[in-house]
Structure 1
Amino acid sequence: MNRMNRMIAVFGLVALAAPGVASAAPWQSINQRQARLDQRIDQGIRSGALTRNEAVRLRGEFRQIVSLESRYRRNGLSLQERRDLDRRFDSLSARVRIDKNNRRAYR
């Protein structure tokens, strides 16, 4: 009976912890990340938060990452390549955020 109680307790803890872990950091596929970054750049252009030059530079970096992804996918996307793409998307996302929120907003 003691073993059964432990199993019930473990399943209970897992059931309680799983929703919190799942919502802590939602994972996005590469395609979702690409679409979201593209939307953020478009929104920045429409709102005036991004200048034309900033948008051109960000779009160029975006296209380079998409091209790299295509090369990686030719032979199957390895875990290392996936991590590289994630790192590059994180970096581009940070640049979009910085460019959208730079000093021009205070003029």
Structure 2
Amino acid sequence: MKKTILTLGLAALTLGGVAASAEGPVNARQLNQERRIDAGKRSGKLTHAEAARLKSQQAAIKREEDRMRARHGGKLTAQDKRIIHARQEQANRAILQQKQDSQRGRNHLKIG
């Protein structure tokens, strides 16, 4: 009896992990992009306006992802994933470009 309960519990955990990992790469990338924007603002590599534009771009991608999930019962199709990936690639290039341009914001890092 105990063995059966333990087996069922492990199966439930495994299935839950699979469901979470299916949407994981999209959400992990989104979080990573937002962290890069925040780090760029703190270091002074991004101005306030640049960071706001980039965050707005990330929010638009998230809204698009949410609409796609709503259309397909909470899941992303392979085509949806390709579209989101392409949008995130575009956002990645925008972050890199803005961090490397000559405009600088205030450096909020506290050293010392």
CA displacement, residues 20-61 of structure 1 (integer Å, 9 cap, x when unaligned):
xxxxxxxx7001101110110000000010001101110111
Q: State TM-score, norm by structure 2.
A: 0.66
Q: Which residue of 1 aligns with 2:96?
A: 97
Structure 2 letter corresponding to 1:83 = R
CA RMSD between the two structures: 1.3
2:58 to 58, 62, 68: 62
Query: What percentage of aligned pairs have identical amino acids?
Result: 32
Deviation at 1:104, TM superposition (A): 3.2
- Bigger radius of gyration: 1
Say if 2:45 and 2:100, in contact at 8 Å, map to a contact too: yes
Unaligned runs of 5+ in 2: 1-23, 105-112
Name the stretch that deviates more: 32-41 or 72-81: 72-81
2:28 to 29, 32, 46: 32
Unaligned runs of 5+ in 1: 1-27
Greater length-normalized contact order (CA 8 Å, ≥ 6 residues apart): 2
CA distance in 2, matches of 1:47, 1:33: 21
SS of equivalent to 1:104:
coil
1:42 to 18, 38, 44: 38
